[in-house]
């Protein structure tokens, strides 16, 4: 939960704004931030990380790696310095590893511990303690780890690692980058070849970064099925990592600049991993001007500066095959659709009903309250846009259901409304993007 709710909600009315201009940077990618600390803590020597996302989840990962013997320090200039122990040399933590609300930290760190001869206890907050860990307990147990979880396979749990662990071939029963990553991380200290088979491709940040740190990892693809193999007993080499800006955070500013007349904005250093960046593909299909400047590769990840200019948008039918690579971006896409010319249709989005909120129902209600024309189906929304005319806005606060992405999406809707849109609570935005309101105010000249 969010600490700020101890003091009740923090509402704000987002008013029509001037064009978005200049250059901005959004916070670093969360997935890459977690992994850079974990792998840096397993490499001997100094790994330097700049642009780390300093949210509570990532700091939980840093604290855990410290507890197992790595040195993880924030420098005065905002960069981070990590001195690792080497694969196989993690130390037994003295106290429980406190994971807060971070499912990523928990599942990936369970993988790391599983092939080391140490025992660790994982605890989390009330919300994390309801989330299923059985999906990682199963493969890690096959590798030889001894795991005692709470009833229902949840936290708190105790994991006794086995070294040498047993290399396995594991076919993912559920599409989960976290489960895949846990098995691969366990494979780092396991003699032989650890194999993960993915019937449905998921985010590939772990594979890219493992390779970047020097692990022997290769991927075969046949008939849409990916087979990932990792040769164990790896020696990781320290790296210098510039964490790319989070594409999910950049999405709000890209859509705002497309919608607000006169906008001409450069969003610097955006990660464009193809398993994450499909929103930009769809916005271009709608007629959005989004140009990649200075495309480059950083730590195995594709990165570019995005130059976004105000563009009249036209509604499209969004290919459901793109959904996994833009699942968190649908709330802000719905705002773009509400201002486009014609009809936008989305399907295959059942997954959105089980996110931080039921994002289909919550966005349908919020956009309707702000004057958009929205029809809700079981697996998506159909939106008839205004053709660029501003939304009417709303007299009453829209309900964001404590969902950070809904709050930010409706903030952008306020910029392109006549009377503004009042968001019932801006506090949850801090979970993924604490500087959002400040950046939005400065880009629109509302300083």
* Residues labelled as active-site residues: 328
Q: Has 405 been labeled as part of a binding site? A: yes
Q: Has 359 been labeled as part of a binding site? A: yes
Q: Has 176 been labeled as part of a binding site? A: yes
Closest CA to 348 of 331, 366, 327: 327
**Those residues with Cβ within 8 angstroms of residue 77's Cβ, 6 or more apart along the chain or in another chain:** none
What are the percentages of helix, strand and coil residues in the chain, rounded to 5? 35, 25, 40
Q: What is d(CA 150, CA 204) in angstroms, rounded to the nearest whole number?
A: 30
Q: Has 103 been labeled as part of a binding site? A: yes
Q: Has 355 been labeled as part of a binding site? A: yes
**Those residues with Cβ within 8 angstroms of residue 372's Cβ, 6 or more apart along the chain or in another chain:** 338, 383, 385, 386, 391, 413
Written as six digits, the tokens of 2 are 């969010």
Q: Has 178 been labeled as part of a binding site? A: yes
Burial letters 410-447, b for 16+ CB under 10 A, else e = bbbbbbbbebbbbbbbbbbbbbbbeebbebbeebbeee
Written as six digits, the tokens of 373 are 């024309």
The CA dihedral of 253, 258, 261, 267, to the nearest 10 degrees, is 40
Q: List strand residue ranges (DSSP E) for 3-76, in order.
A: 12-14, 21-25, 46-50, 71-74
CB 383 within 8 A of CB 374: yes
Q: Has 31 been labeled as part of a binding site? A: yes
Q: Has 160 been labeled as part of a binding site? A: no
Q: What is d(CA 218, CA 203) in angstroms, rounded to the nearest whole number?
A: 15
For residue 171, list its beta bridge partners.
Answer: 197
CB 47 within 8 A of CB 238: yes
The alpha-helical segments, DSSP class H, found in 155-242 are 177-187, 205-212
Q: Has 48 been labeled as part of a binding site? A: no
Q: What is d(CA 202, CA 95) in angstroms, rounded to the nearest whole number?
A: 33
Written as six digits, the tokens of 69 are 């013997």
Written as six digits, the tokens of 128 are 């994390």
User: Which uninterrupted H or E stretch holds 322?
Assistant: none
CB 245 within 8 A of CB 270: yes
Q: Has 102 been labeled as part of a binding site? A: no
Closest CA to 190 of 168, 171, 164, 214: 164
In whole angstroms, how large is the CA radius of gyration of the chain?
A: 22
Question: Binding-site residues for phosphoenolpyruvate, please?
Answer: 30, 103, 131, 178, 359, 405
Question: Binding-site residues, please?
Answer: 30-31, 35, 103, 131, 176, 178, 328, 355, 359, 405
Question: Binding-site residues for 3-phosphoshikimate, please?
Answer: 30-31, 35, 176, 178, 328, 355
């Amino acid at each position: 939960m969010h600490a700020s709710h101890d003091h009740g909600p923090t509402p704000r009315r987002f008013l029509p704004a001037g064009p978005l201009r200049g250059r901005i940077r959004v916070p670093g990618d969360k997935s890459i931030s977690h992994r850079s600390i974990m792998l840096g803590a397993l490499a001997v020597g100094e790994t330097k990380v700049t642009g780390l996302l300093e949210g509570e989840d990532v700091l939980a990962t840093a604290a855990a790696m410290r507890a197992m013997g790595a040195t993880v320090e924030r420098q005065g200039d905002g960069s981070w310095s990590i001195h690792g122990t080497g694969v196989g040399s993690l130390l037994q933590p003295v106290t429980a590893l406190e994971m807060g609300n971070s499912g990523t930290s928990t599942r990936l760190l369970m993988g790391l511990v599983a092939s080391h001869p140490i025992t660790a206890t994982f605890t989390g907050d009330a919300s994390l303690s309801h989330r299923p860990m059985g999906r990682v307990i199963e493969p890690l147990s096959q590798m030889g780890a001894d795991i005692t979880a709470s009833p229902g396979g949840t936290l708190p749990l105790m994991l006794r690692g086995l070294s040498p662990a047993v290399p396995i071939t594991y076919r993912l029963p559920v599409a989960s980058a976290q489960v895949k990553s846990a098995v691969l991380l366990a494979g780092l200290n396991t003699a032989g070849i650890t194999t993960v088979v993915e019937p449905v491709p998921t985010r590939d940040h772990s594979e890219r970064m493992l390779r970047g740190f020097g692990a022997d990892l290769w991927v075969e693809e046949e008939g849409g099925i990916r087979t990932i193999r990792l040769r164990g007993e790896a020696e990781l080499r320290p790296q210098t990592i510039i964490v790319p800006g989070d594409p999910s955070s950049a999405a709000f500013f890209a859509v705002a600049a497309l919608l607000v007349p006169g906008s001409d904005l450069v969003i610097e250093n955006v990660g464009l991993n193809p398993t994450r960046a499909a929103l930009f593909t769809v916005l271009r299909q709608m007629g959005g001007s989004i140009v990649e400047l200075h495309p480059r590769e950083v730590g195995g990840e594709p990165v570019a500066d995005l130059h976004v200019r105000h563009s009249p948008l036209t509604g499209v039918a969004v290919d459901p095959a793109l959904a996994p690579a833009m699942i968190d971006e649908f709330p802000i896409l719905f705002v773009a659709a509400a201002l486009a010319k014609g009809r936008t249709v989305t399907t295959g989005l059942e997954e959105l009903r089980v996110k931080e909120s039921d994002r289909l129902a919550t966005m349908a209600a919020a956009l309707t309250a702000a004057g958009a024309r929205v029809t809700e189906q079981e697996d998506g929304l159909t939106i008839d846009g205004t053709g660029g005319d501003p939304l009417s806005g709303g007299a009453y606060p829209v309900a964001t259901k404590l969902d950070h992405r809904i709050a930010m999406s409706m903030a952008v809707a306020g910029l392109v409304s006549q009377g503004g849109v009042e968001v019932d609570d801006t506090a949850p935005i801090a979970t993924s993007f604490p500087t959002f309101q400040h950046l939005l105010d400065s880009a629109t000249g509302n300083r």
